[in-house]
Chain A
Amino acid sequence: MTDIADPLSAEIQGPSPRQMLKSRALSHKGLIFGLSVVLLLVVVALFAPLLAPHDPYAQSLMNRMVPPVFMGGTWEHPLGTDHLGRDYLSRLLYGARVSLMIGAIAALISGVIGTAMGVAAGYFGGKVDAVVTFLINVRLAMPVVLVALAVVAILGGSLTVVICVLGLLLWDRFAVVMRASTLQISRRDYVAAAQVIGASTPRILLTEIMPNVFNNLIVIVTLEMAHAILLEAALSFLGLGVQPPTPSWGLMVSEGKNMMLFEPWLVLIPGAVLFVLVLAINLMGDGLRDVTAPEGRS
């Protein structure tokens, strides 16, 4: 009996899928780096009021463009001050809030829209698919930056407008990917089985389809979040995004631009954190894909 049970129990006692996932995740350097940077920035954004050494809005014209500590400044303003004498570190910390909030909410809005459309198209097919595909094509035919610029220029720049515009523009990739993966999954036997036992359509969508397309969804969420953050920075840089005095990294780059030749750190510091955040989010998304769907790795 033990002879027969041994290989079986060995198989049962081996690492569970969850444990395998965990070990894969822990050994994935990109994921670890990306996740820690993103988590760090989320913490910074949440606790900005506690961490910031100064009020990010407090102007002191007599202390303009004090250099950061590594360029001969003092610890009073570790990253120096901007063109109105506001503490650069504090503005950077508060700016993280704007960037992450816009990234997260825009990705959420577009995720909901895109996923609903994609899953519906993939599952129902036929006319629904034709309509959704048409909408996706229409959306893809419009250059995001141009449309965002136009809409923001007409409605006026503010945090809400930027979030809504980006949320309503960035759903295309969600729809495309969700449609393709739903199409794949809905042909599987377990979906057919659920249909045969008479499960309702919402039930099938929620319990059979969604859990199996979730991996793909997560990757797109991270991609679009990074995309939204960059777009917000671009809009703010052009003066159409978040309006002063709200600190935004894109706006900080824009404000520092005039002094770029002589005080390059004014542009380098917000530029660098923007770069690190977007890189971290992308690495995190890449890592999540590698870890959750190793077979898909090329």
Chain B
Amino acid sequence: MPVKKTTSTLAVAALMASVAMPALADKASGTLNVAFTKELENVDSYFNSAREGVVLQRAIWDGLIYRDPETNEYVGNLATSWEWIDDTTLEFKLREGVTFHNGEAFNADDVVYTVDYVAKEENGVKTQRNVNWMKSAEKIDDYTVRIHLKEKFPAAIEFLSGPVSIYPNEYYAEVGPSGMGLKPVGTGPYKVTEVVPGQHFVLEANETYYDSPKGQPEIAKVDIRTIPDVNTQMAELFSGSLDLIWQVPADQANKLAQMDQFTVANESTMRVGYLQMDAAGRSGENPFTNKLVREAVNYAINRQELVDALLQGKSKVVYTPCFPSQFGCVQDVTEYEYDPEKAKALLAEAGYPDGFTIDFYAYRDRQYAEAITSYLNAVGIKTNFNMLQYSALRELNMKGEVPLAFQTWGSYSINDASAMVSQFFKHGSLDTTRDDQVLEWLDVADSSTNPDERIEYYTKALQRIADEAFWAPMFTYNTNYVFTTEVAYTPTPDEVLRFVDMSWN
């Protein structure tokens, strides 16, 4: 198709000419320009649930523990060592000589204050699952601290290396989450010099960063702008006013990969895309309370085709409500091969020979959502398509008013099945299933300190979820990172953009 190629190249050339501006950012100026698609509700990492928030969290703050994204090994970060005193008590020796960006010295008081603050439910941390396993913290001396757990929680180390970062006690007590969101202060490799909500964040390298396993920052300045439209992002990439964009859809990434001046890197992420069905009947009488209908939905979707044609890259088909690399995410469950005839037969058996019409919700990846509804329509499940903002859909979901939705969950990059399956199947406000048997098994799996027992009970729970077709898990996501050849970066499979690992070529 030579004609096609010429025209698209022409279009791109014309575009590049029309937006040509003096390059604002490059190696020479030392500023890396990055685009975020989504706007953050609050930079304070405990008060947003966005992927962009995780990226900033890892740059600005540090946790007690660090998990090496390559080897998955846990090493001390703000803590130098830790040990289990008993099943529900962890003791940490803290690193000495660390200071926060505002000059406040880091010690046990900061850990105690942060843990006590976030563990308290009424303080309203956005994702309770990240923190609600901790009861309190206790200072032993200035550089020794104990964290008390509510009950046995074997994934504690994983959570402490992920979403639990340590805040400066004096500063946080004074400004609270909203002040922290506008002027974040942490110990991390990058300090924030400017926050203009909805516009941009400016990060500067922390010159006095301690000898952390994260490594020293090499890029002096990072300017992150919020640009919702992918086309605008690409136009700015062409014109040189952006150096790095990520979460680039596969189609565009394929085209960009054909050009010489960009590096396109694809990595898998822990994000799993799934269909959530109201099996518990919270939204009133609906077809999904019938197991046959839920099975029909599972058979109606051609997962392989979605992965091959739409998601591409390192995406994979999944049948479990968790990411395969997560601890406990056993893949030995019932798999539903694409079989529209069987789906129709099951619907007829369930009493819907002509199908039915149902409200369908989605909040991201409209294209995938449309493709999924097409599969459903093809077997007779007519959908009223509703595209909502994430927060709006989450709220509807908590009220139990969503019969069918295309959802995704990134597990906060926590490499443990509890971060996903236990988030959604333990009768919380987002649980659309409310199955007592699953709850019972997950309780055992989540709190056991014996790895074999954990695996055994996750297997039971995951197999029941698949057998009962409570969800229709479909695929794992991948992310395309596109950056100019001046930037050196190797993305990690956990969907976290690490500025500290980037450098100029």
A-side residues, CB < 8 A to B, are 57, 59, 61-62, 64-65, 67, 71-73, 83-85, 156, 158, 239, 243-245, 255, 257-264
Contact = CB atoms under 8 A, between A and B. Distances in A.
B3 A72 contact: yes
B231 A261 contact: yes
A194 B6 CA distance: 72
Given A72-B2, A261-B255, 9 more contacts: A57-B377, A61-B302, A61-B308, A62-B305, A65-B251, A245-B377, A261-B235, A262-B11, A262-B252
Contact of B387 (A84, A239, A255, A257): A239
B234 A261 contact: yes
A258 B384 contact: no
Given A57-B377, A72-B1, A72-B4, A259 B371 contact: no
B231 A67 contact: no
A259 B3 CA distance: 17
B370 interface: yes
A158 B384 contact: yes
12 contacts: A61-B309, A62-B305, A65-B251, A71-B7, A72-B1, A84-B367, A84-B370, A156-B386, A243-B385, A244-B385, A245-B373, A245-B377
B1 A67 contact: yes
Contact of A257 (B11, B231, B302, B374): B231
Nearest to B359: A156
A242 to B, nearest CB: 10
Interface in B36-56: none
A42 B234 CA distance: 39
B98 interface: no
A256 to B, nearest CB: 11
Contacts of A156: 384, 386
Contacts of A260: 231
A274 to B, nearest CB: 20
A264 B7 contact: yes
A158 B385 CA distance: 9
A59 B374 contact: yes
A72 B2 CA distance: 7
Contacts of B306: 61
A156 B11 CA distance: 36
Interface string B77-96: 00000000000000000000
A142 B271 CA distance: 44
Given A59-B371, A59-B374, A84-B374, A258 B252 contact: yes
Nearest to A258: B230
B377 A84 contact: no
Interface string B226-237: 000011001100
B-side interface mostly: helix
B12 interface: yes
B309 A64 contact: yes
Classify the secondary structure of A's interface with B. Answer: loop
Interface string B358-375: 000000001100110111
Contacts of B384: 156, 158, 243
Interface of B: 1-4, 7-8, 11-12, 15, 230-231, 234-235, 249, 251-252, 255, 302, 305-306, 308-310, 366-367, 370-371, 373-375, 377-378, 384-387
Given A72-B4, A84-B367, A264-B11, A61 B252 contact: no
* Best-buried of A72, A84, A261 by chain B (most CB within 10 Å): A261
B12 A62 contact: no
B13 to A, nearest CB: 11
Nearest to B302: A61
B4 A71 contact: yes
A243 B386 CA distance: 8
B304 to A, nearest CB: 10
Contacts of B251: 65, 83, 258-259, 262
A158 B384 CA distance: 9
A83 B367 contact: yes
A263 B374 contact: no
Contacts of A245: 370, 373-374, 377, 385
Contacts of B305: 61-62
Contacts of B378: 59
Contact of B8 (A158, A243, A263): A263
Nearest to A240: B387
Contact of A259 (B235, B252, B377, B385): B252
Given A65-B251, A156-B386, A57 B231 contact: no
Contacts of A61: 302, 305-306, 308-310, 371
Nearest to B3: A72
B231 A244 contact: no
Contacts of A64: 309
Contact of A262 (B2, B8, B310): B8
A84 B252 contact: no
Quick one: which of B302, B305, B308, B375 has the most chain A CB within 10 A? B305
Contacts of A62: 305, 308-309
